[in-house]
């Protein structure tokens, strides 16, 4: 079973070929991210215009890399929600037209669930790797979403909680802007914080008792006020602020994910989304999970960020 996946939910135009819901034969992604950096966020009109230009060559390049022709594809999977409406429409219209012309089935895929499914993707030579055990708790942390799920299997996924305001990635990006680092802030803060380990600064964590919901706008505002108050002092250190912000945000993600395991009885955590690339989240969640007998899975870095391989994979999955 060979699936062509198409993903255009945000700034990226991505196509991938996945065999049997697992083996990634090819994946190609082009992003318009650089064009948005001057604005500190994605401009939807720029994103969708670029996607209209990129979609044909990106699909063609993925087929070429997999050494396949369109006729050899068994079905098509495409992101249908959530995302920027103009961007989603580019991928959806292209995929619908292609499926009709080729007379192949089309499956519309939820982008968030696909982020969790990214943990099951393999390279063709990696057949001996063990798949994550289900049921699991799913943590999706991206620029637009922060949600916890009870994943019984990929037909039965229940939302446990989500952010009430900023998504984790959005908080990273906004704090990146406050610190004058540029966009996207996540990877820049991750790097800078490595040089700022300290216990002098502590930013608050929103607890939201008896709930799996999150709130990150408070910590973002606390960083803003701290910077305004202290930025002209001699001891002011950007790496220290970045470190303290990251500690606050990551601690909340770790605590809520482990509490969700306690509540559902799952011994597995599946993490997905761009913030899953964060080095401190990766090490803290694995370490603290281990102490409670919980195995934590992160997708390889290339499949943490938005990509069509996770869309093609979930489209062809039998879990
Ligand atoms: O999943 P994704 O590619 O796009 C969305 O669907 O939103 O996630 C992008 C987000 C951005 O907010 C970016 O700052 C964040 O992921 N990100 C990170 C890291 N790498 C990317 N956040 C924290 N640490 C990182 N290393
Ligand atoms: Zn995403």
Per-residue pLDDT tens digits for 76-126:
999 999 999 999 999 999 999 999 999 999 999 999 999 999 999 999 888
Comparing 66 with 300, the larger pLDDT belongs to: 66
pLDDT at position 48 is 96
pLDDT at position 225 is 98
> What is the average pLDDT value for the chain, to the nearest integer?
96
Q: What is the mean pLDDT of residues 200-229?
A: 95
pLDDT at position 228 is 97
Distance of CA 8 from the midpoint of ligand 2 (Å): 10
In angstroms, the Cα distances linking 235 to 41, 199, 247 are 31, 14, 20
pLDDT digits (tens, 9 = 90+) for 257-291: 999 999 999 999 999 999 999 999 999 999 999 99
Task: Give the rounded percent of residues in the chain with a pLDDT score beyond 70.
Answer: 100
Q: What is the mean pLDDT of residues 158-185?
A: 96
Contact present, 33 and 43 (Cβ < 8 Å): no
> Ligand 1, residues 142, 177, 281, 300: which to mutate, most atoms within 8 A of Cβ?
142
pLDDT at position 183 is 84
State the virtual CA torsion across 152, 158, 164, 169 in degrees, nearest 10. 40
Q: 133 falls in which pLDDT band (50, 70, 90)?
A: very high
User: Which residue, judged by its Cα, is nearest atom 2 of ligand 1?
Assistant: 274
Strand order in 106-110's β-sheet?
23-31, 12-19, 2-7, 75-81, 106-110
Contact present, 25 and 17 (Cβ < 8 Å): yes
DSSP class of residue 163? Answer: B
Q: What is the mean pLDDT of residues 232-254?
A: 97
- Tell me whether residue 189 is exposed, middle or buried, using C-beta atoms within 10 angstroms of its C-beta: 0 to 12, 13 to 18, 19 or more: buried
Closest CA to 264 of 164, 158, 154: 158
The alpha carbon of 62 is separated from its chain's Cα centroid by a whole number of angstroms, namely 21
Contact present, 203 and 226 (Cβ < 8 Å): yes
DSSP class of residue 200? Answer: S
What ranges make up the beta strands (E) of the chain? 2-7, 12-19, 23-31, 75-81, 106-110, 136-141, 146-153, 156-162, 268-272, 295-297
Count CB atoms within 10 A of the CB of residue 47: 25
Torsions phi, psi of 2, nearest 5? Answer: -115, 125
Q: Is the CB of 273 under 6 A from ligand 1?
A: yes
Identify the bridge partners of residue 4 per DSSP, sorted by sequence position: 17, 76
Closest CA to 14 of 41, 54, 53: 54
pLDDT at position 130 is 84
> Ligand 1, residues 113, 274, 279: which to mutate, most atoms within 8 A of Cβ?
274
Spatial separation of the C-alpha atoms in residues 250 and 287, rounded to whole Å: 13
Q: What is the mean pLDDT of residues 213-231?
A: 97
pLDDT at position 40 is 73
Spatial separation of the C-alpha atoms in residues 26 and 116, rounded to whole Å: 19
Closest CA to 62 of 11, 98, 104, 86: 98
Torsions phi, psi of 137, nearest 5? Answer: -95, 135
Strand order in 136-141's β-sheet?
156-162, 146-153, 136-141, 268-272, 295-297
Comparing 7 with 42, the larger pLDDT belongs to: 7
pLDDT at position 314 is 98
Q: Is the CB of 305 under 6 A from ligand 1?
A: yes
pLDDT at position 281 is 98
Q: Is the CB of 187 under 6 A from ligand 1?
A: yes
User: Which residue, judged by its Cα, is nearest atom 8 of ligand 1?
Assistant: 274
> Ligand 1, residues 37, 143, 179: which to mutate, most atoms within 8 A of Cβ?
143
Q: Is the CB of 142 under 6 A from ligand 1?
A: yes
User: Which residue, judged by its Cα, is nearest atom 16 of ligand 1?
Assistant: 274
Distance of CA 104 from the midpoint of ligand 1 (Å): 33
């Amino acid at each position: 079973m060979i699936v062509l996946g198409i993903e255009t939910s945000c700034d990226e135009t991505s196509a991938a070929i996945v065999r049997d819901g697992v083996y990634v034969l090819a994946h190609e992604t082009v992003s318009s991210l650089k064009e948005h950096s001057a604005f500190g966020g994605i401009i939807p009109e720029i994103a969708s215009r670029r996607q209209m230009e990129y979609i044909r060559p990106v699909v063609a390049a993925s087929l070429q890399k997999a050494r396949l022709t369109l006729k050899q594809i068994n079905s098509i999977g495409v992101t249908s929600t959530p995302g920027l409406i103009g961007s989603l429409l580019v991928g959806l219209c292209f995929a619908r037209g292609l499926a009709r012309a080729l007379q192949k089935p089309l499956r519309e895929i939820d982008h968030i669930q696909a982020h969790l499914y990214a943990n099951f993707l393999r390279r063709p030579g990696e057949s001996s790797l063990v798949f994550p055990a289900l049921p699991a708790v799913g943590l999706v942390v991206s620029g637009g979403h922060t949600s916890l799920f009870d994943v019984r299997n990929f037909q039965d996924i229940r939302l446990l909680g989500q952010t009430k305001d900023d998504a984790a990635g959005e908080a990273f990006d906004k704090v990146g802007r406050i610190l004058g680092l540029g966009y996207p802030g996540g990877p820049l803060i991750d790097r800078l914080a490595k040089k700022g380990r300290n216990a002098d600064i502590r930013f608050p964590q929103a607890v939201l008792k008896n709930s799996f919901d999150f709130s990150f706008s408070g910590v973002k505002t606390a960083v803003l006020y701290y910077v305004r108050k202290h930025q002209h002092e001699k001891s002011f250190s950007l790496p220290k602020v970045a470190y303290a912000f990251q500690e606050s945000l990551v601690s909340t993600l770790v605590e809520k994910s482990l509490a969700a395991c306690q509540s559902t009885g799952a011994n597995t955590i599946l993490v997905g989304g761009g913030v899953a690339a964060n080095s401190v989240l990766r090490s803290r969640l694995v370490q603290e999970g281990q102490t409670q007998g919980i195995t934590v899975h992160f997708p390889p870095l290339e499949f943490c960020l938005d990509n069509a391989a996770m869309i093609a994979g979930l489209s062809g999955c039998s879990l």
